[in-house]
Structure 1
Amino acid sequence: MSLIQSARRSALGCAAALLLSTPAWAQAHDGDWAGSLKIPGGGQELHLILHIVTKGSDVQAVLDSVDQGSTIPATAYKADGAKASILFISVGGELEGEFAANGQTFTGTWKQGNTTMPLTLTKKAAAAH
């Protein structure tokens, strides 16, 4: 086998390993994440729960605004390592931030319209079956 063929096989093997490992990395984000969003100027606080589920190579996210009694499905979910961006077109919102190395917090910002607010979500313990 030539050096070029060997290099190609190694490159293909690495690419396949990355593709196959992506859902597992995404699954590390799976679960329910809770936090509170403090609305500027009004003293109001909204309790939020972000639900993330990986199905195959597809990641689905839904945001519950507990105090408003609304459920907002994500339009898009993009992750790059620990960083994530979740788009909620129906409300003109975007959640951007980073998952902590210990997998227990997500620290970022909620952007909606011209307003950007800090938001920290904490992973809730899995429900006992």
Structure 2
Amino acid sequence: MKKITFLLLFFFASLNTFAQDITGDWKGVLKVPGAELNLVLHVTKTENGFSATLDSPDQKAFGLPVTTTTFANSTLKFTVENLAVEYEGVLDKDQVITGTFKQMGQAIPLILKR
């Protein structure tokens, strides 16, 4: 019985080690024609999932409310409806999110790092 209890404790402890944490600040550079815009995504955990705000320091825009934020199966998705922004990216083992930023028909690669 002690062996089974130990194995179960070890199993659940190891699951926590491999869990991916998306909360925190994520920074990236959006390369648009004629400019590069720094973006910062602030993700927090809520009772119902996740919440986020977006900063565009180069445009002096801070705390833009993100409409939806989801993270499942290593995939982060967020939208900012009033700016027609969509993002989808995959978090890898090195804590880098590689994805695509979409706005008004334009799709631009965007890599986010802590």
Q: TM-score, normalised by structure 2?
A: 0.77
Q: How does 1:40-51 map to 2 (within 5 A)?
A: 40=33, 42=34, 44-51=35-42
- Larger C-alpha radius of gyration, 1 or 2? 1
Task: Report if the CA contact (8 A) 2:49-2:70 is conserved.
Answer: no
Superposed CA deviations along residues 9-45 of structure 1, whole A, max 9, x for unmatched, are xxxxxxxxxxxx9xxx57x0001011100002x2x00
RMSD: 1.7
Separation in 1, partners of 2:27, 2:82: 21
Q: Give the match's secondary structure for 2:82.
A: helix
**Taking every aligned residue pair, what percent have the same amino acid on both sides?**
34
Provide structure 2 residue ranges, at least 5 long, that are not aligned to the other structure: 1-14
Q: TM-score, normalised by structure 1?
A: 0.69
Higher strand share: 2
Q: Does 1:70 align with 2:61?
A: yes
Separation in 2, partners of 1:67, 1:110: 17
Q: Give the match's secondary structure for 2:58.
A: helix
Q: Does 1:30 align with 2:17?
A: no
Q: Give the match's secondary structure for 2:93.
A: coil
Paired residues, what number?
A: 96
CA positional deviation for 1:58: 2.9
> Which of these residues, 32, 56, 61, is aligned with residue 47 of structure 2?
56
> Which of these residues, 84, 96, 109, is aligned with residue 118 of structure 1?
109
> Which of these residues, 83, 86, 95, is aligned with residue 75 of structure 2?
83
Superposed CA deviations along residues 28-78 of structure 1, whole A, max 9, x for unmatched, are 0001011100002x2x00011110000233311111001011132110112
